[in-house]
Structures are given as structure tokens and as C-alpha cells.
Structure 1
Amino acid sequence: MRPTTTTELQEIVKTGSQLLPRGGGSKPALSVPGGTVVPIDMTGLSGLLEYEPGEYTFTAYAGTAVRDIQRELAKNGQYLPFDPLLAARGATLGGTIAANSSGSGRYRYGGVRDFILGVRFVDGYGRLIRGGGKVVKNAAGFDLPKFMVGSLGGFGILAEVSFKVFPAPPAYTTLRLALADVAAAMEAIFSLATRPLEMDALDIFTTNSDVDLLIRLGGLPDALPARAERLRQLLAAHSTAIETITDEADEAALWQAANDLAWSAAAPLLVKVPIAPKRVVELDTAVTPHTTHRRYTAGGNVAWLAAPDAAPLDAVLRKLGLAGLALRGTVVRPYLGQQPPSALLHRAAQALDPKGKFYRP
């Protein structure tokens, strides 16, 4: 089924069951269900509805491709600072919200929930519900726009979404440090934590033999060399192999590949794990035998694990008391590890989808 109007979407919900919205298919573990689950192709609800560059806001249909929005924003020197993931692979705005899909820019600016302003979605009754602006909460007391972030379409199908945007930095520079291991990379990150530095992104990328720390700076071109040099001096005690990437095309391609998760493409499975930075070394040690590549983004607040098989990772995450979400790979359910129970989610299901119209893995 592929609705092209919100009215069609409402009718599908009223008459259907076990419904799962699907956008561009960039996160197949979340959007290719089996059994009796019915996928709803949301790409028919696509297009920019309202864009006010002077107000730094836009509203679009949920099935709109992120890359189309990025192109439109770029015409006015604006962008989505949280670096939506998988834009080049067809990710949609609705899928980005539903999967809480933030990239490297989350380190400085925050994630999806910090930029979403409003939503219109169809609930389990087939009603078109609005949240955001002056209508921030519904009768059940939920902040609806933020509540839909990470919901995986389990409480309603997004129809329209509104975001705030920022002016894009005029230039970027990236520092790449070669380090002995993830522990050394985290030591370098912690050494910068108390410094008054403005870093747009702070990522660790590792295979089973190499570890790189990537630091991105954005701002005025004339100021970037001095800022980069200060960082080099601060980090000299941690690494003697520090590369500064200033070429515009090379620097942009580096982060484009990072946010399209291209580094993980060779592995069948990709899992996202929210984590406290102080536990990164513990996690990395435990998963190294079971993974091919690992990336720690947002200063170590999110782990990305590329692996051949889900079962060993599931066991490790359970042992560590961590929760994972598979974006790609063959899994019965996308959730791995230890998933904490949530009374809030139960309340939401009762308020928005008491008949179980939507598939919740």
C-alpha cells in the first residue's frame, strides 16, 4: 500500500492491522517485516509544504527524502545540524524521526529531538493528530513531536513533520589522529572535555587493527587554521600522527561517508548502541572478537557495531546491560541486548493505539 494523501493514509489505518510504515528502505532491519506485518510505503507522501528561510523552519511530508530537503536548504545556506544518517541512500524525514537517526553533528548541536518542532500523524483510531507549536501535548500528557523520535512507527504513522534549521558553517577543517587503541582515543576525548572548544563532531573509527580519532571544526575560513593548530597542540601528548584535512571536497567526502555509514557496508549486520562515554572501552573490548568495524560518535555517546552475526552481539550486550538496535541485518526483532521495560510506552500504546493497529517489534 502506498498512500498519496493523508486521507488515504487514514483509511488504511482504519481498515488495517499490524501496519508498519516504510520510507526509503535505508534501514532494512526496521522496515522489512515478515509474517502478517503489512508495510506501508510512505514515499507517496512526499514534498516540501512550507519553508521560511527567514524563520529557519520548514514543514514537509514525512515521506520526503532527506537529501531533497538538504538540497533545498543549501540554496539558502542552511542545513540540519544533526547530520541525518543515510541521506544518500534514500532516508526519509519520517524514517529519520522514527529511528532517531542522528549523525556526527549530534555532538555539538544535539539530535533529532532537539530540532523537531511539530508533527501530524495518524493514530490507531485513524485520526489525524497534530503535535507541536501551540498544541504541544495531547490529553495523555505526551510531548508528541519528541515522543515520536525513536518510536519506530509503533504509536502512529507520521504524515507531516516540521523542523528548525541552522545557518551552515561557511567552511570546515578536520583533524585525524592515529591512536594505539580505543582507550587512548577516549583519553584524548576526555582531555578536551573541560576546554572551551567548539567542535562540530568528535568520532572514533576503528577496525581490529587501526584506531582513528576524527575531530571536525566548522566556522569562518580565516579562523579555522588557528583553531586547528590549538587542537594539535592540546593533542600532541596523545598522538604524534595528526593529519589536518582542509581540502573542501576531501573533508566533505569523509563525513558524508561517515553519515551514510559507508564504512560498515561490507558487514551484514549494523547495530546502534547508546552508551555512556565512560563505558566505551569496556564495550569495545567485549565486542572486538565479534565485529569487523566499530565507530563511536558524538564523543562516545553512541556506538555503531558492524558484525557478521547478531547472536554474539546480543549475548555481549545482555551481559553488559546495554540495549542495541539493528539497522541492517537478518534479525527476528531489531532489538538486541537488554531492553528496559517502560511504563511510558505502555501508557502511550493505550492512549494512541489501544487496538494494536501498528506493528511494535
Structure 2
Amino acid sequence: MNLQPTTLAELQEIVQQTKSTLLPYGGGSKPALSAPPEHTQQLNMRSLSGIIEYEPTEYTFTAYAGTPVQEIAVELAQHGQYLPFDPLLTAKGATLGGVVATNTAGAGRYRYGGVRDFILGVRFVDGNGRLVRSGGKVVKNSAGFDLPKFFVGSLGRYGVLAEISFKVFPQPQAYTTLRFNFATLDSALAAIHRLATTPFEMDALDLEPMPNDQFDCIIRLGGLPQALPARVKRLTDFLRAETAVQNTIQLQDENEVTYWQVQNSFDWIPSEANLVKIPITSKHIPVLENTLFEAKRRYTVGANIAWFADVDTARLDRVLNSLDLVGLQLWGTGQPYLGKRKGLPLAQRVKKALDPHNSFLEA
């Protein structure tokens, strides 16, 4: 049987008739999560693609799960709209279903929230091959268990996402990015904590290790082009007065766009390297820096998400266990999860309800 459905009916038939365990995948932009374990078959969702419905005046759209996010971004941009959470790996072929299943939001999550804050509804095929709808296509819709949000980060373990509805926002007309340099990690973290208590509207707030044990705070501002210079001045004056910032570099126009494209695609790490996403708080960063300083790394979303690349996964697993943290491996080999997982009892109960015959991988 061809495991590449082109219709919802074909998808249902595959789930009903395939005896081995299925692993859905889309663009292959996160190979560690789409590589099938033993006795598992890949379910190629790329042919179930396209925008089903888009209402620019309602700021909502519905698309098939196999739709490339880049294709959606182009359509939204024609109406001055976008997905504010900045889906990652769009240039590498990430699909809408893959973004939901792996919960891969980018820099915009700092200001606007993540995938869960924008997903409205889903249609999915459960382990019995039934087509199930949950949520809706409008913003004001809620009843019962919120399955659409549950599917965010589900890794294809509970069902196959077929259609997904999202809300969108107007896209800022212009952006600028500021790099504030600090001599030490402590001074950089102090600046991030100070910024968190201010009314500055920052589209991104990242922390990047630099040579000589220095750190850069990277701040992105978006909005009306005529308002950005005054906002830059207020922010710069504030940090100079309230923190130990050493110097500032401003990125604009093509340089600014290129910088964020590199971050979105993870082009700052070798293509053959592994890549691990770790939800953290800023208190974990000193320990991570002291124990894993040789790895390529970056801290995003106000220093609440760590990205480690080209790292010894066995060592990282031990460190995460000691910190009671969990990591998700997007690139590399081996198990997708590192460290200490939480919430398994709930996940297993939902798994039993949606996939009683284990048509998909274990929760």
C-alpha cells in the first residue's frame, strides 16, 4: 500500500488497514523526529497539501497538514498578515502539521505566544481510522477538552493531523534589531530580567554567547517605520541607564532580514550536527553554561528556550536529568527525548482513548 495519501479517505484507509505502527511526517525538516524506529512505517503527508479556506477579514485560515508553511506565509503576506509565533525551519520545508506536532515556534513567541495560542481547530484521523474534528475555524470557539492545543507537541503519537485552523495577525510594516553586548552572563541575565518588567514591546528577546565569555542580548522591534527610531532611542537609553551594557549594534533592512532567516533555519550550526530544544528558565542558564560550554547554543524567547547543537547527547541527557528538564531532539539520531519527561500519565490516558490499538508510536 502506498503510504502517501492524497485525500482524507485515503488517509483513513491507510490507518485502518496498515498493521505496522505508523509515523506521520511532512517536509523532513526535523529528521530526528521523522526517522522511523524498527517495525514502524513512515506515513508521508506531503501530498495532503493546500490552503482549504482563508478569510483575510476574519484573520483565520484552514489548511491541510502537509502544506508547506512557506506557501502559507506567501499567501498571508499578500494580505499583510502572518503567523506571529514565527514557525521554525520554514525555508527547510517545514509543514503546518510538523510545526504543530513538534511545537516549533520561533522568536516571535516572546511577544505573541506560541503555537497553542494561535491554533483554533483540527481534523485528525485517530487510531481506529475515524476522522475526528475538534475545535473550530473561528476565534470564539471552545467546548470540552481542548484537543487542538493537546496536539501541539504530540509528535504524531495520538493521531494523524489532517486539517488545521489558525488565527493570524497583521504583519508589522518594518523591523529593526539591536544587539546589546554584556561583559558577563550575570549582567546579560540582569538586563533580561529588567526588561521583563518594562512596557517595551519587543518582538524578540534572545541571548547569544559570544567570544571571551561575553553575551549579547538581541532585541527585535516591529511596527510602523516612522515610529521605530524613537522606540530604538528609548530602549537604548533605558538599557544604558539601567544595565551594564557595553556597546550596541543595530541591524536594519537586508542585514536584519538575513539575520533572522539564519536563526529560523538554524544555519548557524553545521548541517550534520544534532539539535536539541530545551524549555528552561533563566536560572538554569549558568549551570548549562558551566557544564556544556563547548556546544553551540543559543537562548531564545526571553531566555526560556535553550537550543543546543553539536553536543554530546549522553552528557546532555545526564545534565537535563540533574536539572529536572526535558529536551527534544530535532536533528540527530537516537531517542527524541532527553532528560526527564513529565505528564506521562495524562498522555497515556489520552493515548488509550484516541489510539487503543497502538496504530502510532508510544506516547
- TM-score after normalising by structure 2: 0.94
Alpha carbons of structure 1 residues 189 and 36: separation in structure 2 relative to 1, 3 Å: same
Aligned with 1:256: secondary structure? helix
Question: Does the Cα contact within 8 Å between 2:299 and 2:306 map onto a contact in 1?
Answer: yes
Question: How many Å separate the matches in 2 of 1:227 and 1:30?
Answer: 41
Alpha carbons of structure 1 residues 249 and 93: separation in structure 2 relative to 1, 3 Å: same
Superposition map of 1:311-350 within 5 A: 311-331=314-334, 333-350=335-352
In the other structure, the counterpart of 2:235 is: 231
In the other structure, the counterpart of 1:303 is: 306
Q: Deviations over 1:274-311 (max 9, x none)?
A: 0122322232222214x1x1111110111101124311
Superposition map of 1:4-23 within 5 A: 4-16=6-18, 17-23=20-26
Pairing partner for 1:50 from 53, 58, 61: 53
Shift of residue 47 of structure 1?
0.4
Q: What amino acid sits opposite 1:245 in the alignment?
A: L
Q: Deviations over 1:229-281 (max 9, x none)?
A: 111112224222101222x2111111111111211235611100001223222
Question: How many Å separate the matches in 2 of 1:161 and 1:111?
Answer: 15
In the other structure, the counterpart of 1:153 is: 156
Moved more, 4-13 or 255-264: 255-264
Question: How many Å separate the matches in 2 of 1:298 and 1:339?
Answer: 21
Q: Deviations over 1:334-359 (max 9, x none)?
A: 10011124221011011100111001
In the other structure, the counterpart of 2:75 is: 72
In the other structure, the counterpart of 2:41 is: 38
Aligned with 2:46: secondary structure? helix
Aligned with 2:319: secondary structure? helix
Aligned with 2:293: secondary structure? helix
Aligned with 1:172: secondary structure? strand
Pairing partner for 1:241 from 228, 231, 247: 247
Aligned with 1:263: secondary structure? coil
2:272 pairs with 1:270: no
Aligned with 1:271: secondary structure? strand
Q: Deviations over 1:107-137 (max 9, x none)?
A: 0000000000010000001000001128855
Alpha carbons of structure 1 residues 207 and 25: separation in structure 2 relative to 1, 3 Å: farther
Question: How many Å separate the matches in 1 of 2:13 and 2:73?
Answer: 31
Aligned with 1:43: secondary structure? coil
Q: What amino acid sits opposite 1:96 in the alignment?
A: V
Alpha carbons of structure 1 residues 208 and 240: separation in structure 2 relative to 1, 3 Å: closer
Q: What amino acid sits opposite 1:201 in the alignment?
A: A
Question: How many Å separate the matches in 1 of 2:119 and 2:100?
Answer: 8
Question: Does the Cα contact within 8 Å between 2:202 and 2:219 map onto a contact in 1?
Answer: yes
In the other structure, the counterpart of 2:90 is: 87
5+ residue gaps, structure 2, are: none
Question: Does the Cα contact within 8 Å between 2:275 and 2:331 map onto a contact in 1?
Answer: yes
- The percentage of aligned residue pairs carrying the same residue is 56
Question: How many Å separate the matches in 2 of 1:359 and 1:330?
Answer: 17
Question: How many Å separate the matches in 1 of 2:128 and 2:115?
Answer: 27
In the other structure, the counterpart of 2:219 is: 215
Shift of residue 321 of structure 1?
1.2
Moved more, 306-315 or 126-135: 126-135
In the other structure, the counterpart of 1:294 is: 297
Q: What amino acid sits opposite 2:323 in the alignment?
A: L
Aligned with 1:244: secondary structure? strand
Question: How many Å separate the matches in 1 of 2:272 and 2:285?
Answer: 21
In the other structure, the counterpart of 2:176 is: 173
Question: Does the Cα contact within 8 Å between 2:12 and 2:131 map onto a contact in 1?
Answer: yes
Instruction: Tell me how large the CA RMSD over aligned residues is.
Output: 1.6
Number of aligned residue pairs: 354
